[in-house]
């Protein structure tokens, strides 16, 4: 079984529609795919019939923007009840934070002499639930200011670059608890990705596990082989599920093709067992896995 548990559609900052994503999953030979758009379940409704049509098993999820001790952490939430009020409210705060950041980023870029408007960004963000830095990057590419998303991040948008503006992120420990109370399971995405320097470590993980964390995304393109080995050992120590995934963004992120990293079948089943346990105690009606029927 080929299982990819972290992908994005156009509903956040990917470039495929949810339907195109399900077709691409089939073409990539995946048996299971999780749709995990940033901070929203808005793509689920379209993805469900498409997964059935293309015969792929679909796990409905999302990647929530959180922070802990002043650092950003991306939290993958699988199979939470998307109508659970505390989750709805937290996602609304995050999306509102994104909407508020956009004019501030535009203002900074204009001060740097880059002529760009909110309309330019909305022209490229299309179906997205809210705009993010990748959409600003795409607008800069469309205007010919830079050649690629990567160049836009390196020149303007990454933390520490002159066009960077921070935004609201949800408290991580509370959000883990919210996901579990919504009947879902929580997995930390690319825990040591980009500039994390092996943070979070055992001390932090102990607190996250106490809050109900179920897994770590170990096999991710942002992790070196050494980091993967160490994270796998930490996952073993804390009895966490080990996942692997592409973090596919369509044409929006190079080197993240569907299935480039995958999740072991036994680990996937452990994750689903934890989801079932969480659903049972939640007294909510969380979604279940959509079985493809090709
Ligand atoms: P935001 O959530 O709006 O702050 O944007 C962060 C998103 O930008 C992340 O989820 C990544 O998918 C994407 N991203 C970060 N760095 C880069 C980069 N160098 N090139 C392309 N996409 C990036
Ligand atoms: Zn993204
Ligand atoms: Fe992420
Ligand atoms: Fe992601």
pLDDT digits over 272-285, tens only? 999 999 999 999 99
For residues 173 and 207, the answer to whether their CB atoms sit within 8 Å is: yes
What average pLDDT does the segment 94-116 reach?
96
| Ligand 1 close to Cβ of residue 190 (< 6 A) | no
Nearest ligand for residue 169 CA: 1
Distance CA 17, CA 26 (A): 14
Does the pLDDT value for residue 133 go beyond 90? yes
Does the pLDDT value for residue 143 go beyond 80? yes
Nearest CA to ligand 1 atom 11: 134
Provide, rounded to the nearest whole percent, the portion of the chain with pLDDT above 70: 100
Q: How many angstroms separate the Cα of 242 from the Cα of each of 39, 61, 75, 82, 162?
A: 22, 17, 14, 24, 37
For residues 176 and 188, the answer to whether their CB atoms sit within 8 Å is: no
Q: In this structure, is the dihedral angle defined by the CA atoms of residues 275, 280, 285 and 288, taken in order, positive or negative?
A: positive
Tens of pLDDT, residues 41-51: 999 999 999 99
Does the pLDDT value for residue 87 go beyond 90? yes
| Ligand 1 close to Cβ of residue 18 (< 6 A) | no
3-state secondary structure 122-134: HHHHCCCCCCCHH
Tens of pLDDT, residues 207-238: 999 999 999 999 999 999 999 999 999 999 99
CA of 292 from ligand 1 middle (Å) equals 30
Cα-Cα-Cα-Cα torsion 92, 253, 179, 22, nearest 10 degrees, comes to 100
Count of C-beta atoms within a 10 Å radius of residue 48: 17
CA of 80 from ligand 3 middle (Å) equals 18
CA of 280 from ligand 2 middle (Å) equals 31
pTM exceeds 0.95 = yes
With the most atoms of ligand 1 within 8 angstroms of its CB, the residue from 96, 133, 168 to mutate is: 133
Q: What is the mean pLDDT of the chain?
A: 96
What's the pLDDT band for 292 if we cut at 50, 70, 90? confident
Listed range (46-50, 126-130, 246-250, 285-289) with the worst mean pLDDT: 126-130
For residues 77 and 91, the answer to whether their CB atoms sit within 8 Å is: no
What's the pLDDT band for 294 if we cut at 50, 70, 90? low
pLDDT of 90: 98
pLDDT of 214: 98
CA of 133 from ligand 1 middle (Å) equals 6
What average pLDDT does the segment 105-116 reach?
96
What average pLDDT does the segment 33-38 reach?
98
Tell me whether residue 281 is exposed, middle or buried, using C-beta atoms within 10 angstroms of its C-beta: 0 to 12, 13 to 18, 19 or more. Answer: exposed
């Amino acid at each position: 079984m080929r299982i990819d548990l972290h992908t994005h559609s156009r509903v956040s900052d990917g470039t495929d529609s949810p339907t195109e994503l399900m077709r691409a999953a089939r073409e990539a030979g995946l048996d299971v795919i999780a749709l995990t758009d940033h901070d929203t379940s808005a793509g689920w409704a379209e993805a469900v019939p498409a997964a059935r049509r293309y015969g792929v098993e679909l796990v409905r999820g999302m990647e929530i923007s959180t922070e802990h001790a002043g650092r950003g952490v991306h939290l993958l939430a699988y199979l939470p009840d998307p109508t659970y009020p505390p989750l709805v409210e937290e996602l609304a705060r995050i999306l509102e934070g994104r909407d508020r950041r956009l004019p501030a980023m535009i203002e900074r870029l204009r001060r740097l002499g880059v002529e760009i408007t909110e309309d330019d960004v909305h022209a490229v963000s299309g179906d997205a639930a809210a705009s993010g830095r990748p959409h600003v990057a795409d607008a800069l590419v469309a205007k010919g200011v830079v050649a690629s998303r990567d160049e836009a991040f390196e020149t303007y948008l990454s933390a520490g670059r002159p066009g960077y503006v921070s935004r609201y992120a949800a408290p991580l420990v509370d959000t883990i608890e919210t996901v579990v109370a919504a009947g879902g399971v929580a997995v930390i995405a690319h825990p040591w990705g980009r500039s994390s320097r092996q943070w979070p470590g055992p001390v932090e993980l102990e607190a996250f596990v106490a809050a109900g964390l179920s897994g770590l995304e170990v096999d991710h393109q942002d992790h070196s082989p050494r980091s993967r080995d160490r994270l796998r050992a930490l996952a073993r120590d804390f009895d966490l599920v080990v996942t692997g995934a592409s973090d596919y963004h369509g044409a929006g992120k190079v080197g993240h093709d569907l299935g480039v990293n995958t999740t072991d079948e036994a680990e996937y089943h452990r994750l689903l067992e934890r989801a079932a346990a969480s659903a049972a105690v939640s007294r909510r009606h969380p979604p279940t896995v959509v079985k493809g029927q090709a």
